[in-house]
Amino acid sequence: MNSMTHKVVIVTGASSGIGRATALLLASEGANLVVGARGREGLDAVVAQITEAGGRAIAVAGDVRDEAFAQELVRAAKRQYGGLDVAFNNAGTTGDLGSTADVSLESWRQTLDTNLTSAFLAAKYQLPAMMERGGGSLIFTSSFVGYTVGIAGAAAYAASKAGLIGLTQALAAEYGPSAIRVNAILPGGTDTPMGRGMNSTPEAWAAVESMHALKRIASPVEIARSVLYLASDASSFTTGAALLVDGGVSINRS
C-alpha cells in the first residue's frame, strides 16, 4: 500500500510547476486529489494524466484570492471523497518586482492577497474539514526569500512569504491539540514557468544556479517529494516547521 492511499488532498496552483508535480506524485502514492488553479485547460490536463494512470482526481477552477473558491475546494473534496485529510496551498505570485518606491499600493495588495490572504482563506475552511476527520496535514509554499535571504526589489513577495511562516507557526500551535500538523516548504530555485519567467536569459539562469550550494536548479518533482513527506505519516511528529528545500542557497556564500 502506498503512503497516501485513501487520503483526500487539495492542491492549489496545480496546473503547472511544483503544484502539478505534487499532484501527480501524491496521486501515484494513492491519494484522491482535488486540484485547483485559475486555468481550466491546465487542470483538465493534470486530471487526465492522473486518471489515465489509474488515479483519482477532480478539478475546480478559480482564483485563490476568492473566498468562495476556498469554500468550493473543500465542498468538492467532501462531495467527491467524503472529507479532507491534506491540503497543499501552493498557488502564488512573484508580484511586481523592482524598486519599492515604484510599487503601487494596488500591486502590493494583490501580491499579499495572492500569497498570504489566500492561505488564511484556505485554512479557514480546510481546518474544520480536517477536524471532522480527526486530524490532518496543512502545507503552505513559502520561500527562503524574506526568511534567510533578502533580495532587493522583492519587498511584497518577501513580506507575503515571510508572513506565511508566521501563519504556519500560529496555526500549528492552535490546531496541534486537534491532531492537525501545519508546515511550510521553502523551495530554492526551481525549473518552473514562474522561475523561467524571472530568469529568462542563460546568464540569469546561470547566476541563479551559482547561488545554490548544489550549483543547480531543482526539478519540480524534487520539491514535490518534500511535500509528500509532510503530507504523509512519515512526518507525524513534524509541525510548525519552515522546511528549507533550497539546494543550500540559504547557507551558500561562494
CB-based contacts of 219, cutoff 8 Å, min separation 6: 21, 190, 191
Question: Do residues 248 and 217 lie in contact, with contact meaning Cβ atoms separated by under 8 Å?
Answer: no
Identify any residues that bridge with 245 across adjacent strands, giving them in sequence order: 187
Q: Please name the helix (run of DSSP H) or strand (run of DSSP E) that holds residue 11, with its range, or none.
A: strand 8-12
Phi/psi at 7 (nearest 5 deg)? Answer: -75, 140
Catalytic-role residue among 81, 125, 147, 157 = 157
> DSSP class of residue 90?
-
Looking from the CA of 20 toward its CB, the CA atoms found within 13 Å total: 19
Residue burial 152-174, b: 16+ Cβ < 10 Å; e: rest:
eebbbbbbbbbbbbebbbebbee
Catalytic site residue 157? yes
Q: Which three cell numbers stand for residue 57?
A: 482526481
> DSSP class of residue 181?
E
Q: Which three cell numbers stand for residue 87?
A: 491540503
Rounded-to-integer distance, Cα 254 and Cα 250, Å: 11
Question: Catalytic amino acids?
Answer: 157
